[in-house]
Amino acid sequence: MARLSPMKRAEQRAAYVFILPWLIGFLCLTLGPIIASIVLSFTDYDGLRALRFIGLENYKTMFFGDPTVWKSLGNTFYMVLGVPLSIIVSLLLALALNKDIRGVRFYRTFFYFPSIVPTVANSILWLWILQPQFGLLNSALSLIGIDGPMWLGDPAWSKPALILMSLWATGPNMIIYLAGLKNIPNEFYDAAKVDGASGWAMFRHITLPLLTPSIFYTAVMGLISTLQTFTQAFIMTGGGPVESTYFYMLHLFNNAFAFFRMGYASALAWFLFIIIAAFTYLQFKSSKYWVHYEMGGGA
C-alpha cells in the first residue's frame, strides 16, 4: 500500500476532526440509547432503583398480560387509513398547482404553510376547529343544514377527526409530487396528444406510473410516521374518549413516564420497531410490482 503524503495525512486528520462532533453525538445520543433500551427491555427498572434482570417477562406481559397493548395497536392501525387519503389529497393539490397560472407561487406557499406550523400549535388550533358547539367546522356544516358530530368527544368520530386534521398538513407530500411532476418530460405528453390520448389516459399511463417512486416514498414515510402517532392524542384527547384515541405510543409513553416501568416501555418500543420494520420490508418487496422509473426497473 502506498504511503500517504504529509498533506494527505493532514487532510485525513482534519476530516476526522470535522466528523468527530457528529460521531460523538451518534454514539452518545443514538447508538448508546439504542443499546441501553435493548438491555432495559429484559429488566425491571423504574429509573430509581437498580436494574433487576427478569429475562423475557416484559415480553410475556406485553403479549399475554396487557390487553391495552392490542387495543392501542388497533387504534393506531385505524390511523393508517389516513396515509392513502393524505397521498390522494396531496397528489390532487400537486396536480392543481402544477398549472402555469397567475399567482401559482402564492397558492403553493399557502397550501404548504400549515406544514411549518408546530404540531402543538396545530393541535391547539384544531381543538377550536373541532369544538362541537361553536367550532369552525360544525359552524360551517350548520350553514348547509348538517348537524355536526361531537368529533373528539365521540368515540366513533375521534379517530376520523384526527385523520381529518392530518390532511391539513400535506404540504411536504405536495412538494414531493410537484417535483416529480416537473421531472416528467413534456415529450411524453406531446406524443400522447399526437396519438389522440385524453387527459385521463395521459394521467393514467404517463403521470401516475412516473410518479410511483414519489408515491412509494411518501407511503413508506407516511406509514412509519402514522405508526408513531402520539402528539395529537397526548395534547387533544389524552387517549379518550373511552380510550378511542389511546394509541400505542401513548401507551408506551405512559408506561415509561407515568408508571415508571422503563423496562416494560423499552420492550414496547422494540415491539413497535419490529412492526415498523416488517411493514417497511413488505412495502419494499411489493414495490417491484407497481413502482416504475423513467429508465425502467423497479425499486
Q: Where are the domains of the chain?
A: 6-65, 67-290
Alpha-carbon distance of 218 to 212, in angstroms, equals 10
CATH tag, 67-290: 1.10.3720.10
Can you give the pLDDT at residue 7?
85
What is the predicted pLDDT for the residue at 110? 92
Residue 276 has pLDDT above 90, yes or no: yes
CA distances in angstroms from 267 to 30, 35, 81, 149, 264, listed in the order given: 17, 12, 26, 38, 5
Tell me the whole-structure pTM to 2 decimals.
Answer: 0.90
Alpha carbon distance 236, 159 (integer Å): 11
Per-residue pLDDT, 2: 62
Q: Do 68 and 258 form a contact (C-beta atoms < 8 A)?
A: no
Span 216-245, mean pLDDT?
95
pLDDT of residue 140: 94
pLDDT at 212: 96
Task: Identify the CA nearest to 126 among candidates 250, 241, 232.
Answer: 232
Element (DSSP H or E) covering residue 43: strand 43-44
pLDDT at 1 over 80: no
Rounded distance, CA 35 to CA 40, Å?
Answer: 9
Q: Supply 159's cell numbers.
A: 379517530
